């Protein structure tokens, strides 16, 4: 019986040694992968630093002024007027933010014979015949005295009567 027990212990020790070796080998592979990734990260950081330095050299004002003088006849560049700059809230809305107008009211004002077709189109979009058309919100004019990001109670920006209005809408 002692001999059988010894053979079982030798088998367990061999299996344990094999499992230990497998775990050690996997850990070494993971360590190599970590070192490889650290080297890639260092390379990317060095590349970013190099590109930042290159950008600093390329965008030096005296260099740009020299280039403008050298190519002024070809490019005919002019200084940017301060009125050409706009704030983000003065830009038109994205196409995805433009509210969808109600088709039934537009059809009701049009030809009488197309009423059934207009109702079909409106119901396909989930609109009802008694709903109102939502107004398209207008951006606040540049001289508005509102704090940044303030919105009027009606949901749109408050308009001054004499202020320039910016046309908003989608681009087809």
Q: pLDDT for 14-30, tens place per residue? A: 999 999 999 999 999 99
Mean of the pLDDT values across residues 70-95?
82
Q: For 77-97, what is the mean pLDDT?
A: 79
Q: Is residue 155 part of a domain?
A: no
Asked, for residue 161, whether it belongs to a domain, the answer is no
Is residue 165 domain-resident? Answer: no
What Rg value do the Cα atoms of the chain yield, rounded? 35
Structural domain harbouring 46: 2-74
Neighbours of 90 (CB within 10 A): 15
14 domain residue, yes or no: yes
Cα 103 to the center of its chain, rounded Å:
31
Q: Is residue 22 part of a domain?
A: yes
CA 105/CA 115 separation, integer angstroms: 10
For 39-81, write each residue's pLDDT tens digit. Answer: 999 999 999 999 999 999 999 999 999 998 899 889 888 888 8
Q: Per the domain annotation, does 172 fall within a domain?
A: no
pTM for the model stands at 0.40
Count of the separate structural domains present in the chain: 1
pLDDT tens digits, 98-119? 777 776 665 666 554 444 444 4
| Residue 58 belongs to a domain | yes
Angle at 86 between CA 85 and CA 89, to 5 degrees: 165
Structure tokens at 31: 């360590």
H helical segments located in the chain? 2-58, 61-70, 72-75, 103-109, 115-124
Any domain includes 45: yes
């Amino acid at each position: 019986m002692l001999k059988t027990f010894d053979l079982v212990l030798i088998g367990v020790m061999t299996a344990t040694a094999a499992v230990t070796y497998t775990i050690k080998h996997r850990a070494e592979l993971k360590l190599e992968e970590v070192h490889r990734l650290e080297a890639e990260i260092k390379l990317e950081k060095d590349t970013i630093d190099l590109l930042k330095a290159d950008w600093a050299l390329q965008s030096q004002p005296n260099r740009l002024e020299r280039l403008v003088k050298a190519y002024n006849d070809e490019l005919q560049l002019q200084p940017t007027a301060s009125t050409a700059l706009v704030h983000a809230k003065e830009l038109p809305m994205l196409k995805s933010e433009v509210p969808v107008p109600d088709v039934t009211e537009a059809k009701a004002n049009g030809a009488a014979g197309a009423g059934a077709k207009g109702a079909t189109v409106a119901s396909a979009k989930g609109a009802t015949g008694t709903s109102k058309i939502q107004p398209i919100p207008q951006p606040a004019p540049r001289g508005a005295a509102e704090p940044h990001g303030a919105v009027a109670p009606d949901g749109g920006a408050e308009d001054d009567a004499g202020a320039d209005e910016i046309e908003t809408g989608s681009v087809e």
